[in-house]
Amino acid sequence: MGLIVQKFGGTSVGNIERIKNVAKRIYKYYKEGHKIVVVVSAMGDTTDELISMAEEITKNPSPREMDVLLSSGERISSALLTMALHELGIPAISLSGRQAGIYTNSIHTKAQITCIKPERILKEISLGKVVVVAGFQGYDLDNNNITTLGRGGSDATAVALAYALKADICEIYTDVEGIFTADPRIVPSARKLDYISYEEMLELAGQGAQVMQLRAMDLAATYKVPIIVRSSFNENSGTFIGEVEKMETRRKITGIAHNKNIAKITVLGVPDKPGIAYKIFAPLGNAAINVDDIVQNVSKDGITDLSFTVPEKELSNALKIVKEIIPQIDAKDVLYDDQIGKVSIIGWGMQGTPGIAAKMFGILAENGINIEMITTSEIKITCIIRRDLVEKAVQALHDGFKLGEE
Amino acid sequence: MGLIVQKFGGTSVGNIERIKNVAKRIYKYYKEGHKIVVVVSAMGDTTDELISMAEEITKNPSPREMDVLLSSGERISSALLTMALHELGIPAISLSGRQAGIYTNSIHTKAQITCIKPERILKEISLGKVVVVAGFQGYDLDNNNITTLGRGGSDATAVALAYALKADICEIYTDVEGIFTADPRIVPSARKLDYISYEEMLELAGQGAQVMQLRAMDLAATYKVPIIVRSSFNENSGTFIGEVEKMETRRKITGIAHNKNIAKITVLGVPDKPGIAYKIFAPLGNAAINVDDIVQNVSKDGITDLSFTVPEKELSNALKIVKEIIPQIDAKDVLYDDQIGKVSIIGWGMQGTPGIAAKMFGILAENGINIEMITTSEIKITCIIRRDLVEKAVQALHDGFKLGEE
């Protein structure tokens, strides 16, 4: 018996029948004597429907009003799930983000959790209730406004609550079985992982593995919140995400990640002086543009080129900002490429194993895939390639590193 | 230039196109320099859709959770209307019931406003913004829960805000042209009234005239809030509702009201002692059952019969409660009749004019309509009749009192 946080995504509560099934699942844990805090997303396409109504009205909706609009979706599903729990005889109560004590900064539509005051949740738990929290939303106390945490923010809600409540486990229920060695839609032989370290998962999530939101993984890794990612449609065990030292074996390569929704910006002729990178990336950060891979090669005659990738849908915003910076830093020009993608191999074990990078480059070369940029971290090697070759690259690497085998 | 509260009902904001039209209407007032507070209902059938989802889950939804569920509808429409105002270049902000400072007691799904703290609204107005308040909802501060005011509670929101803000006028936009001498669906010659007193309107609303909610009218009458009821689909002037001394002329009869959704309960053989009526009606009141007409005739041998009407859908609840009371008060039996309806004539002028009641009874008699119960107030005479004769009675009385003529 312990305290469990369970998060159910939009597909898991996609209609009334599924909401009832979720209630039945919770019932089992409740009967076992666990204390349960549930975090729900909006039902199925609710968020998309609300967004499209806003788009019918304006091309440029006020972020504050978007948050009022979108936060309604999770309130609806939280109330309905609570009713379904009541119907099974389980005492339960729904709480909005504010009532759950989830406080954020004031960056509307992409707010960050600044603190959690779980008094109300703890009170309701002490009264024997299952607490159903509307995910994805918080409250900006300084300005008394509702905020949302950005798409997929319900994961962040669940992890942050699990930490604040010192939960024994945070279960993320979704429409997939767990974390795979590669995207099963691209690699049919992809294998479900029983466990993965925070760090490996972070790299996978950052590369577009859509199982769990990057920020939520980051939170979990930082605060060592134990996570299970599993399907809400069956009883399979899912993938456990935890600290690396707890893992039984050390795999060289854990999985292949890829992303086809990125674009590349290159700033040409940048003077190689201290503070230049800051001048480029600070304004992008202020605009909440997620800069991912950054590559800067050695300079020649005090001049260098600097490349980085951004989500494709943020390319035009990012270009606008960079073009304003160009004169301030005496750079020569800006180029962009919106036809790129990337593929990464990820694995804790690669740290102690020479030749992994060489093997990756070799496999890509054998398959006629040109590498345009390379970046590496301790547990990841990423190659930027043509977007139309990404799937071929993922398949070739999954085969080459034999990830389909136990 | 003044402060105007404008309330738009669910039909008026029934789709995106209509929301845009409402924004255009507000724009005109804004350009004239008025300060504007808007109260919106949920879009069209939203509330019904949310209720039917709840009904798919449980026959007996928790009132607290219903309030979480239903209050989302008005939040959605408030955000969308605010976006539409922004699109026209009008500074605007949406506020939830809680943010607007609308505090209530804790009777979920039928909460009553206990106080309004309009600081946030006043602040936003002082910043030049149109404030769009989500109607129908408030907040129970004692328990930190969202409440709703009951169906049509957006009218109450608007009137209460108009009072708290000392607004110059409270405009209720709806899908009808104003208040008519009778229901135009039943009496084609029914005439729109240019003005009506609070008291007359109260009697009309209480009889099922669905233009404005009874409680809202009660609030307006108590606090002398000037109201205009008008259509959101054209520019017609609507009906002004105000104090009787401000009316230009005194009509004998202002209008005919009727209600086919009532049922009658009769308690037989009630000992005629002090406190008996209290013992019957207090438990009904506690159960929030709206008892309407009450008739008690003179007693015989210290025993009397007591009849009253309730909304038909509350009949079974009311019967259950009354049957529990019977032994406590030594009454003989309880009868009910669920095939009744009522028709009323209403008019401030009847007070100084003898013979109005006789004329009413005569018209009904001429048309072969038997009167089963009669109750009167200073400005209303009500007859309980068979339900299937109600429409005939309304038509005959409208003709007989010549209400179709100016």
CB-CB: which of B69, B80, B94 is closest to A79? B69
Q: Which of residues 69-88 of B touch A (CB under 8 A)?
A: 69, 71-73, 75-76, 78-80, 82-84, 86-87
Give the ipTM. 0.78
Mean pLDDT over residues B207-222, rounded? 76
**How high is the pLDDT of residue A17?**
96
**Cβ neighbours of residue B325 closer than 8 Å, sequence gap 6 or more:** B279, B280, B283, B331
B contacts of A75 (beta carbons < 8 Å): 68-69, 71-72, 75
Domain assignments of chain A as residue spans, ordered by start: 3-175
B contacts of A144 (beta carbons < 8 Å): 99, 120
- pLDDT string in tens for chain A (406-residue length): 799 999 999 999 999 999 999 999 999 999 999 999 999 999 998 999 999 999 999 999 999 999 999 999 999 999 999 999 999 999 999 999 999 999 999 999 999 999 999 999 999 999 999 999 999 999 999 999 999 998 779 999 999 999 999 999 999 998 888 888 988 889 999 999 998 888 888 887 655 556 777 778 888 989 999 999 999 888 888 999 998 765 545 678 889 999 999 999 999 988 888 888 888 888 888 888 888 888 887 777 888 888 999 999 999 999 999 999 998 888 899 999 999 999 999 988 787 777 888 899 999 999 999 998 898 888 889 999 999 999 999 999 999 999 988 7
Highest mean pLDDT among B141-145, B268-272, B295-299: B141-145
**Cβ neighbours of residue B95 closer than 8 Å, sequence gap 6 or more:** B78, B120, B121, B124, B131, B132, B133, B134
Q: Is A246 exposed, middle or buried (0-12, 13-18, 19+ CB in 10 A)?
A: exposed
Asked whether the predicted pLDDT for residue B207 surpasses 70, the reply is no
**How high is the pLDDT of residue B209?**
56
A40 touches chain B (CB under 8 A): no
Q: Over the stretch B385-397, which tens digit does the pLDDT of each residue have?
A: 999 999 999 999 9
Q: Which of residues 296-355 of A touch B (CB under 8 A)?
A: none
A contacts of B78 (beta carbons < 8 Å): 68
Asked whether the predicted pLDDT for residue B206 surpasses 80, the reply is no
Q: What is the 3-state secondary structure (H, E, C) of chain B?
A: CCEEEEEECCCCCCCHHHHHHHHHHHHHHHHCCCEEEEEECCCCCHHHHHHHHHHHHCCCCCHHHHHHHHHHHHHHHHHHHHHHHHHCCCCEEEECCCCCCEEECCCCCCCCEEEECCHHHHHHHHCCCEEEEECCEEEECCCCEEEECCCCHHHHHHHHHHHHCCCCEEEEEECCCCCECCCCCCCCCCCECCEEEHHHHHHHHHCCCCCCCHHHHHHHHHHCCCEEEEECCCCCCCEEEECHHHCCCCCCCCEEEEECCEEEEEEEEEECCCCHHHHHHHHHHHCCCCCCCEEECCCECCEEEEEEEEEHHHHHHHHHHHHHHHHHHCCCEEEEECCEEEEEEECHHHHHCCCHHHHHHHHHHHCCCCCCEEEEECCEEEEEEEHHHHHHHHHHHHHHCCCCCC
**How high is the pLDDT of residue A52?**
95
How many A×B Cβ pairs under 8 Å? Answer: 104
Question: B248 falls in which pLDDT band (50, 70, 90)?
Answer: very low
B61 touches chain A (CB under 8 A): yes
**How high is the pLDDT of residue B210?**
64
Q: Over the stretch B285-339, which tens digit does the pLDDT of each residue have?
A: 888 888 888 888 777 788 888 899 999 999 999 999 999 999 888 889 999 999 9
Strands B255-259 and B340-346: antiparallel
A127 touches chain B (CB under 8 A): no
Q: Over the stretch B54-67, which tens digit does the pLDDT of each residue have?
A: 999 999 999 999 99
3-state secondary structure of A378: coil
Q: Is A82 in Cβ contact with B65 (below 8 Å)?
A: yes
Asked whether the predicted pLDDT for residue B164 surpasses 80, the reply is yes
Question: B223 falls in which pLDDT band (50, 70, 90)?
Answer: very high
Nearest CA in chain B to A20: B57
Q: Is A56 in Cβ contact with B69 (below 8 Å)?
A: no
**How high is the pLDDT of residue A248?**
46
B interface test, pick of A67, A83, A93, A145 with most B CB neighbours within 10 Å: A83
Mean pLDDT value across chain B: 91
**How high is the pLDDT of residue A377?**
84
Question: B275 falls in which pLDDT band (50, 70, 90)?
Answer: confident
**CATH architecture designation of domain B3-175:** 3-Layer(aba) Sandwich (3.40)
**How high is the pLDDT of residue B342?**
93
pTM for the whole thing?
A: 0.80
Say what percent of chain B tops pLDDT 70: 96
Q: Is B50 in Cβ contact with A86 (below 8 Å)?
A: no
B64 touches chain A (CB under 8 A): yes
CB-CB: which of B57, B71, B93 is closest to A16? B57
